[in-house]
């Protein structure tokens, strides 16, 4: 059957004008495509360059040189961020304390917290030379301590932190200061009960648990409960733990260096004593109370009765136990302490003048009546004066070593800055104080002091 082709129309050949126009349009389309492709390629290149600068070049940029060892921007930024996160949460705790007791000065605190947290958002914040100088000083100390024969073992490090992170019901330091009679019942013991030193494994577990707890508190504050707008904490638990361990190692190095630079015989001397007391409170809440005289008379009668029971020094503890409200005196002696630690108890006078080993006569203080037995008394180097002199010696030593190391900062600051005080890592989860007297108002506009590099779990 024949095909019907009579309705098929064939295109006519382009004339010269039409072909020229078609060629021109095709060239324009090709040019547009090339320009668009070049623009996309340039954009991708710029983004890539930006990412390389942001993720590789800027973090690895050298910002300081300490005796030939480079300090990178990434190392500095993490150091700064962990410090600022701790300062933020500690200031927030102070705000709660000030608000609890309706004290003034929280406005400046809140501004500082806002600034600290805002700083956490910037992974490449401009150099704060005060922070950088503290980081440099840490490196100078660490780099030069070994030459002085000073090292810190992992066991020393773990045991030191385990002591700081001891549970609240454990007293790791058997000579902790006695500061007040507040809360003491009649003849209450003055001595905390010492606990055994944990094993290395126990110490390590305690430190790990405490750091985890504190880091969780820090992250919750920054990410969940904070009203300051930060989404995530810019460092993880492992980085935080490494920071805690490193700061504690530095602190132990400072302590050992101080002991080497300043010996005990270079400190001023003060009285130390090991004393035991039987205490009868006068239960006075208001000095103007008309029954005050009666209360004092009752307390005097009780102390006289107790004195009659004391036949010799051997009976002192037995009599103390019998006259203690809770009938429990685990360790009645105080251990050797500076005389100043007995100031708040009102018994420095009998402790400094009584004959050693002789039961004293009833002694009246502003708190009540006391019978004191001094077991030992001697002049010893003042630990307060010794600590001050050692701190000063370490600071001078670090400055001398830093000068010798020809430290460079890039760029060098144009103005002199004062290095900050590194805040120790808290050793307990921050809680508002319950003692109004412990909170001191800071005038508006003043910056309140911030506590590790060692954190408080």
Write out pLDDT tens, residues 178-229: 334 443 445 544 444 455 678 889 999 999 999 999 999 999 888 877 676 6
pLDDT of residue 332 exceeding 50: no
What is the DSSP code string of 200-214?
HHHHHHHHHHHHHHH
| Per-residue pLDDT band at 457 (split at 50, 70, 90) | very low
pLDDT at 53 over 90: no
Q: Is the pLDDT of residue 309 over 70?
A: yes
Q: What is the mean pLDDT of residues 316-322?
A: 86
Residues in the chain: 457
Bridge-based pairing of strands 62-66 and 337-338 is: unpaired
Lowest mean pLDDT among 64-78, 111-125, 258-272: 111-125
| Tokens (6 digits) for 36 | 């668009």
Mean pLDDT in residue range 55-76: 81
- Which residue's structure tokens are 């503890």? 317
pLDDT of residue 123: 81
Nearest to 278 by CA among 348, 176, 179, 363: 363
pLDDT at residue 77 in the model: 92
The CATH 3.10.50.40 domain(s) of the chain lie at 270-381
Which tokens hold the place of 365?
Answer: 């203080």
Contact 120, 229 (CB under 8 A): no
- Does position 331 have pLDDT exceeding 50, yes or no? no
pLDDT computed for residue 425 by the predictor:
52
Confidence check: pLDDT of 153 > 70: yes
pTM (predicted TM-score)? 0.67
The answer to whether the beta carbons of residues 422 and 452 sit under 8 Å apart is yes
The per-residue pLDDT for range 277-290, each reduced to its tens digit, is 999 988 766 666 77
Instruction: Report the alpha-carbon distance of residue 378 to residue 396 in Å, rounded.
Output: 32
Note the pLDDT of residue 211.
Answer: 94
Beta bridge partners of 275: 374
- Residue of higher predicted confidence among 4 and 155: 155
CB 56 within 8 A of CB 419: no
Give the H or E element holding residue 120: helix 106-121
Under DSSP, the state recorded for 415 is S
pLDDT digit string (tens) for 114-136?
888 888 888 888 899 999 999 99
Comparing CA positions, the residue from 449, 450, 422, 451 lying closest to residue 214 is 451
User: Contact at 8 Å (CB) between 273 and 356?
Assistant: no
Judge whether residue 51 has pLDDT over 60.
no
Tell me the average pLDDT across 243-253.
96
- Per-residue model confidence (pLDDT) at position 139: 95
Rounded mean pLDDT of 79-106? 82
Up-side HSE of residue 51: CA atoms within 13 Å toward CB?
6
- 309, exposed or middle or buried, with CB in 10 Å at 0-12, 13-18, 19+? middle
Cα angle for residues 41, 44, 48 (degrees, 5° grid): 135
- Mean pLDDT over 295-311 rounds to 90
Confidence of residue 9 (pLDDT cuts 50, 70, 90): low
CA 184, chain centre distance (Å)? 30
Select the highest-mean-pLDDT range: 2-6, 249-253, 287-291: 249-253
Mean pLDDT of the chain: 78
Q: What is the dihedral of CA 174, 175, 181, 187, to 10 degrees?
A: 60
Highest mean pLDDT: which of 24-33, 53-62, 82-91, 172-181? 82-91
Is 270-381 a CATH 3.20.20.70 domain? no
- Compute CA distances 137 → 4, 70, 401, whole Å: 99, 14, 9
The tens digit of pLDDT for each residue in 369-400 reads 999 999 999 999 999 999 999 999 999 999 99
Name the band, by pLDDT with cuts 50, 70 and 90, for residue 273: very high
Query: What is the predicted pLDDT for the residue at 216?
Result: 92
């Amino acid at each position: 059957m024949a095909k019907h082709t009579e309705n098929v129309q064939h295109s006519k050949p382009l004339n010269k004008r039409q072909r020229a126009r078609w060629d021109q349009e095709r060239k324009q389309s090709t040019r547009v495509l090339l320009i668009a492709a070049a623009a996309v390629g340039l954009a991708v290149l710029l983004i890539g360059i930006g990412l390389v600068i942001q993720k590789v070049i800027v973090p690895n940029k050298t910002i300081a040189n300490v005796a030939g060892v480079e300090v990178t921007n990434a190392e500095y930024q993490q150091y700064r961020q962990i410090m600022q996160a701790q300062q933020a949460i500690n200031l927030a705790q102070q705000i709660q304390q000030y608000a609890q007791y309706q004290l003034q000065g929280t406005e400046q605190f809140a501004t500082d917290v806002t600034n600290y947290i805002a700083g956490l958002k910037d992974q490449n914040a401009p150099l704060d030379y005060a922070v950088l100088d503290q980081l440099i000083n840490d490196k100078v100390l660490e780099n030069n301590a070994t030459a002085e024969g000073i090292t810190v073992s992992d066991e020393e490090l773990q045991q030191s932190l385990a002591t700081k992170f001891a549970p609240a019901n454990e007293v790791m330091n058997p000579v902790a200061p006695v500061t007040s009679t507040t809360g003491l019942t009649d003849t209450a013991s003055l001595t905390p009960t010492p606990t055994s030193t944990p094993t290395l494994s126990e110490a390590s577990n305690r430190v790990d648990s405490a750091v985890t707890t504190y880091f969780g508190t820090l992250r919750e504050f920054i990410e969940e409960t904070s009203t300051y707008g930060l989404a995530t904490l810019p460092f993880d638990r492992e980085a935080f733990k490494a920071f805690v361990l490193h700061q504690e190692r530095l602190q132990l190095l400072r302590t050992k260096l101080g002991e080497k630079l300043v010996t005990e015989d270079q400190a001023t001397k003060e009285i130390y004593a090991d004393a035991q007391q039987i205490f009868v409170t006068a239960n006075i809440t208001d000095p103007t109370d008309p029954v005050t005289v009666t209360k004092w008379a009752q307390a005097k009668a009780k102390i006289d009765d107790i004195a009659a029971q004391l036949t010799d020094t051997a009976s002192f503890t037995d009599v103390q136990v019998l006259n203690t409200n809770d009938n429990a005196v685990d360790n009645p002696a105080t251990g050797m302490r500076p005389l100043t630690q007995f100031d708040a108890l009102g018994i420095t006078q009998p402790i400094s003048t009584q004959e050693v080993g002789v039961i004293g006569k009833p002694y009246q203080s502003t708190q009540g009546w006391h019978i004191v037995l001094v077991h030992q008394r001697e002049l010893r180097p003042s630990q307060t004066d010794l600590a001050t002199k050692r701190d000063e010696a370490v600071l001078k030593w670090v400055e001398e070593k830093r000068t010798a190391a020809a430290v460079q900062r890039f760029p060098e600051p144009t103005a002199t800055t004062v290095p900050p005080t590194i805040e120790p890592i808290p050793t307990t989860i921050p809680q508002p104080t319950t003692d109004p007297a412990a909170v001191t108002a800071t005038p508006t506009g003043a910056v309140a002091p911030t506590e590790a590099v060692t954190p408080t779990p």
